[in-house]
């Protein structure tokens, strides 16, 4: 607890598009849960195209780093978007319930769960904590952006050195694909680099 990370978000490594901050807050409920917070905001330049501010909270169990509850809220060009899911309630059940809001419209979606259940914020901290092996396959379900996603990926065969404005890091790279549980044709490619030092920085 007490860790605070701050990132610049850029487009193609050229234009700064916004900022992302991650924070581990103080444990609660008898030190059994730890709140994880993520905030995102775009720059004034990109706000002319789409103005975005967002907050996501994940409450993870201290012993396992697996989420108990996940909630995210964002304002995009004045439109309120929200996601709420009591993840621990569904962790041992075959279904996941996600309550969401888009503007004035609210709905509840029920998805079939097929793997370990994480969320957009807790998954990053979980991957930082586990012992990743070269070539290791990765698979889990993820709650985020008002939907459930299937995440499949592989740990790269070799470490990779990354140079950035924050410095030079030896890293482990994870290559993956996120596919919507309700729309298999909709998928996104993901690459995550995690430093190999004690801090395991994303």
* pTM metric for this prediction: 0.89
Residue 201 and residue 194 in contact, taking contact as beta carbons nearer than 8 Å = yes
| Burial profile 47-73: b = 16 or more Cβ within 10 angstroms, e = fewer | eeeeebebebbbbbbeeebbbbbbbbe
Long-range Cβ pairs for the range 95-101 (8 Å, 24+): 96/141, 96/143, 96/148, 98/143, 98/146, 98/147, 98/148, 100/146, 100/147
- Is the dihedral angle over the CA atoms 191, 134, 115, 72 positive or is it negative? negative
User: What's the confidence (pLDDT) of residue 92?
Assistant: 65
Q: What is the pLDDT of residue 91?
A: 61
Other beta carbons less than 10 A from residue 159's beta carbon? 15
Distance CA 120, CA 58 (A): 8
Token duo for residue 166: 């924050």
Residue 90, pLDDT score: 63
Cβ contact 122:65 at 8 Å: yes
Question: Is 95 exposed, middle or buried (CB count within 10 Å of its CB: 0-12, 13-18, 19+)?
Answer: exposed
Whole-angstrom distance, CA of residue 165 vs CA of residue 9? 12
Q: Which residues of the chain have pLDDT under 50?
A: none
Q: Is 47 helix (H, G, I), strand (E, B) or coil?
A: helix
pLDDT at 160: 96
């Amino acid at each position: 607890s007490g860790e605070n990370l701050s990132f610049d978000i850029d487009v193609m490594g050229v234009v700064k598009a916004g900022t992302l901050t991650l924070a581990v807050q103080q444990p609660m409920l008898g030190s059994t849960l730890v709140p994880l917070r993520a905030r995102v905001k775009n720059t004034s330049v990109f706000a002319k195209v789409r103005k975005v501010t967002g907050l996501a909270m994940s409450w993870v169990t201290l012993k396992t780093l697996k989420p108990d509850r996940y909630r995210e809220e964002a304002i995009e060009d004045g439109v309120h978007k929200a996601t709420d899911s009591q993840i621990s309630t569904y962790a041992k059940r075959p279904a996941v319930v996600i309550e969401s809001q888009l503007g004035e419209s609210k709905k509840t979606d029920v998805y079939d769960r097929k793997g370990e259940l994480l969320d957009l914020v807790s998954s990053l901290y979980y991957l930082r904590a586990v012992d990743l092996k070269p070539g290791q396959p990765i698979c889990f379900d993820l709650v985020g952006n008002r939907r459930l996603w299937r995440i499949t990926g592989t740990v790269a065969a070799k470490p990779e050195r990354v140079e950035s404005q924050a410095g030079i890091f030896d890293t482990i790279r994870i290559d993956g694909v996120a596919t919507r549980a309700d729309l298999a044709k909709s998928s996104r490619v993901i690459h995550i680099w995690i430093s190999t030092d004690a801090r395991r920085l994303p």
